Amino acid sequence: MWNPISLHTARNPKLAALLAACMVTTATPLLAAGASHDANEVTGHSSAEHAGSRRKADDLSRAFRGAAKDLAPSVVTINTISKTGSKPGSNAQGGPGAPMLPPGFRMPAPQQRGPARGTGTGVVISRDGYIVTANHVVADADEIELVFRDGRTAKATVAGLDPGTDIAVLRTEASGLEPAAFGSSDELEIGEWVVAIGAPFGLEQTVTAGIVSAKGRSDVGLATFESYIQTDAAINPGNSGGPLANLDGEIIGINSAISSRGGGNDGIGFAVPSKVVQRVVDSLIANGRVARGFLGIGVQPADGEMLAGLGAEEEKGVLVNRVEHGSPAERAGLEPGDVITAIAGRAVRTPGELVATIGEIAPGSEIDVRAIRDGRERKLQAVLAEREDDHARRGSRSARSPRRTPRPRESRRKTARSWSSASPKAAPPRAQASRRAM
């Protein structure tokens, strides 16, 4: 197409240069304006994104504050005194005033006679004076003092102990109590935010936060009946017996123990689920003890190869290695060598799960038992008897040896520890526990 401008500029180089300069001069502001507009768009988008993130962070912060504010009035520090026993000296291992020794040498710990003191946490659950805590916090106590958030103190007595779950109930005559509400541990989801309140190292009303790391942890080796909530919320000595709560400020667990290689918080804590706590508390308040079902078998873990050899296609279940004579299990038709895959409608993968499931069912209940024998599934019915051991007696004290302050005890798993004054005998070896009648 004919273009007069192109024709003239082709014949006149000076004119071409002048037109080019005009075009550059005209385009530069336009380009600058466009770049500025793009930059404003980026800056605006970044600011909006930051504001959105900040709002989310503020919302989460408000949720933590709300949960702590709702729960704190119900949390108490528990100070205990045991008048019997001995306690280790404070200077035995290099404390203030200890003698200077060559590296690698230690002085024997001098035994100091006198009251043994400990600190833990509890939470008020009724206006008429009931408080739930961990069994190992108060089991050896001769005197129990409660310290409330407002600084008030009051005496408490033991209403009931349940070593099998590490739960205890106290009673106080104090007035003006603000009870906390229980939430549903069944509805709790892995990854959900939780808060813990307690007195770690005696620091009252300390709030820590984390998430639910796992549910239904059994075979940890800390108690007879285990179905723990695992959390990474910081739990330390003095937190035992305190609440683990959801962001609504509801109790979804009672802190019991941690797993630690060095004795401090390693981000693995265990809490007794609120479903278990509520059942135990109701039984202790009503009867002073907890009645549990008894089947009368001994079981052991079974790996995939063993299960496959016994004909269990799904490779899950526990192996029956003993059936007590005259027990509900014998009457139901269970035999050594059977693989139990489900009980009372719940799948069974470990001995701990089986123990916990039977322990939650009341004596006299009829339950379904699914077992594999000779490669065939059998459906049996058993009527549970009552378990005779692990009874919690109202106002009773355990035979555990007291110490000056709560210290961790080793469990069947060497890395799992409970902030307890218990002797190691309280936790039987895994091999014994796997064959114990249940």
Catalytic residues, which ones? 136, 166, 240
Please name the residues in contact with 67: beta carbons below 8 A apart, sequence gap of 6 or more.
Answer: 195, 245, 246, 247, 248, 249
Q: Which tokens belong to 176? A: 């003006």
Greatest alpha-carbon pair distance for the chain in Å reads 120
Residue type, 90: S
Q: Which tokens belong to 284? A: 């202790």
3 state SS of 87: strand
Backbone angles phi, psi at 128, to 5 degrees: -90, 20
CA 209 to chain CA mean position, Å: 12
Q: Per residue in 177-190, is it b (16+ CB within 10 Å) or e — as a string? A: bebbebbebeebee
- Is residue 76 a contact partner of residue 121, using CB atoms and an 8 Å limit? yes
Please name the residues in contact with 296: beta carbons below 8 A apart, sequence gap of 6 or more.
Answer: 323, 324, 326, 327, 328, 329, 330, 385, 437, 438
What separation in angstroms does the CA of 263 have from each of 21, 133, 324, 410?
A: 78, 21, 40, 10
